[in-house]
Amino acid sequence: MSELNPFKIAQAQFDEAAEILGLEPAMREILRWPRREYKFTIPVKMDDGTTKVFHGYRVQYNDARGPTKGGLRWHPDETIDTVRALAAWMTWKTSVVDIPLGGGKGGVTCNPKELSDGEKQRLARGWMRVIASELGEHRDSPAPDVYTTPQIMAWMMDEFEVIAGRNHPAVITGKPIPLGGSQGRGDATARGGIYTVREACKILDIDPKGTYAVQGFGNAGQFAALLHQEILGGGKLIAVSDSRGGIYVEGGMDPEAIVKHKLDTGKVGDFPGSKPITNEELLELDVDILYPAALENVITEKNAANIKCKISCEMANGPTTPEADVILHEKGIHVIPDFLANAGGVTVSYFEQVQGTYNYYWTLADVHKQLDAKITKAYHDVYEMHKEKNVHMRTAAYLVAVARVAEAVKLRGWV
């Protein structure tokens, strides 16, 4: 099987929306490609005295609606096409939740697990030294992503401020709280997803206190397990899984107990009173709400006919293939697409940018209230488009997002 190019997939998804919206050729061309992209080398002095050269990237996909925003990934398989695709998806994500930002993404091809803290700091500062002139709260604001942390963001912010010669806390988001990070950032991705499930349950007349399962028990999956009960007022968690397998408890399990077990042992397996279950079996359980929160392409045309949940809330990026989307839609399964379901993270990153810009910081209650308002409106905007155009929810989300960016491009006179 040939390797799927993520940017080709992103362009194909855009093309479908552009066709339905009837966008003119010039508009399609400008929205199919990044406005600006940077590829550069970063020499880093290693602990053993040698110098290693790393490859870095930053893509500013589209800034018609505002400064670009997006995470910075450190991964051995990072490529310019990965970064392009993620920058495109971030453009649609910021648009669908209607925050005044565009989409960007950055990366470094490296294996951070092989780097010491000193080497990580020198790499972080080296990346910033190369690209600082193209960044800023009114131009492009990075954030943490795969294998980058609040500490790495702190080093980058500090390097930017050294170069600029003044304080600029809003240039980077996802920072530690003492350096201007926002309250509520840690669980924001999952919290936003739970808000969309709450709204879907109201519209579809589904009891949110029914059964649910979480596939993928990292940060987002763990918070989804906990917040489902906290925000929706109950619910029975009957299965969770991670990369090493899953567990099933017919009578339901305590989310706090399974999260503690995972943090203590590094896996969900061997949880007291549970039966083992595979990731594949978990996806096909007869539950009210399923949270795919692990990898991409886990629901495909091969297993989509066996999916039995009423709502699938995509906490992961790209867990459902285009072929599976069609099958789930025909089965009447309500899919809350990834770039709506997991948009809570970038929304609170935007709040952090706002707080840093005017040097006033919100309470946790303020963050939750504003996040709820943004995500709730976004869900209803997408649902109305879904009903109006009679398309599945992912296409509806694209239609909402792409139409807004296209309108901004047209108003600016670019096309």
Residue of 105, 175, 262, 310 marked catalytic: 105
SS3 of residue 300 by DSSP: coil
Q: In what order do the strands lie in the sheet with 68-75?
A: 36-45, 51-62, 102-109, 68-75, 140-144
Q: Which helix (H) or strand (E) holds 296?
A: none
105 catalytic residue (yes or no)? yes
Q: In what order do the strands lie in the sheet with 289-292?
A: 275-277, 245-253, 236-242, 211-215, 289-292, 311-313, 334-336
The neighbour count for residue 373, using CB atoms within 10 Å, is 12
Interatomic CA distance for residues 153 and 343, integer angstroms: 20
Q: Which two tokens stand for residue 178?
A: 């003492």
Q: Give 48's Cβ-side CA count (13 Å radius).
A: 3
CA 223 to chain centroid, in Å, comes to: 14
CA 394 to chain centroid, in Å, comes to: 15
Measured over the CA atoms of residue 258, residue 263, residue 266 and residue 270, the dihedral's sign is negative
- Max Cα-Cα span within the chain: 64
Interatomic CA distance for residues 415 and 28, integer angstroms: 10
Contact 409, 415 (CB under 8 A): yes
Enumerate the β-bridge partners of residue 320: 299
Interatomic CA distance for residues 93 and 73, integer angstroms: 17
Contact 190, 223 (CB under 8 A): yes
Interatomic CA distance for residues 409 and 415, integer angstroms: 7
Indicate which residues carry an active-site annotation.
105
